[in-house]
Amino acid sequence: MKKESFIQPDPQSWLNTFHFSIPIKIRYCETDMLGHVNNVSYFMYFEQGRIEYFENLGLTEELFSELKVSVVADLECQYLAQMYLKDPLVLHVKVAEIGRSSMEIQYAIVVNDQLKAAGRGTIVLIDTKSGKSTPIPEEARKIIASFEGWE
């Protein structure tokens, strides 16, 4: 079954829409016996990038506190090419869309200007007392929209 890709309209144009990136050093424990990066590691990279993206925007209190927390509702990865222990990995992160209480976040893993993997996922803001979704604060929306150039 072929799934429609979120990498639109083409990989390079899609990559050009990212405004935030971080280097990731691949650790030995994240590889298999052949030196390939294990498929589980990609999801750890996505999490690290997501947290650093929100820290960079100063939104950790808005989205991660005792009163509310952002949780992953779904997460996927498209493995496009193999990665190895010594690869100079760069992770790109962006918020692609904001709903009432959720955000779609997209990820691109690049090595030497080659797209090696792409990911997307939805996070939902949850009220910790009720356990139910809660609206994303207007200030957080403004900061993200400004950073992503949606205005």
What are the residues facing 30 on neighbouring strands? none
Confidence at residue 2, expressed as pLDDT on a 0 to 100 scale: 67
pLDDT of the chain along its 151 residues, tens only?
667 789 999 999 999 999 999 999 999 999 999 999 999 999 999 999 999 999 999 999 889 888 999 999 999 999 999 999 999 999 999 999 999 999 999 999 999 999 999 999 999 999 999 999 999 999 999 999 999 999 7
Tokens found for residue 4:
């429609």
pLDDT of 40 = 96
pTM equals 0.95
Collapsing DSSP to helix, strand or coil, 41 comes out as helix
pLDDT at position 1, please? 65
Q: Where do the domains of the chain lie, and which CATH numbers do they carry?
A: 11-148 (3.10.129.10)
CA of 148: how far to CAs of 51, 74, 77, in Å? 16, 22, 22
Residue 18 has a pLDDT of 98
Q: Residue 97 has which token pair? A: 């869309």
Give the SS3 label for residue 88: coil
Tokens (6 digits) for 148: 């992503």
DSSP labels, 109-140 = EEETTEEEEEEEEEEEEEETTT-SB-PPPHHH
Q: Which pLDDT belongs to residue 4?
A: 73
Q: State the burial class of residue 11 (Cβ atoms within 10 Å of its Cβ: 0-12, 13-18, 19+).
A: middle
Query: Sign of the CA dihedral 80, 81, 82, 85?
Result: negative
Tokens of 63: 């989205």
Residue 105 corresponds to which tokens in the numbers above?
């976040």
- Cα dihedral 58, 63, 65, 70 sign: negative
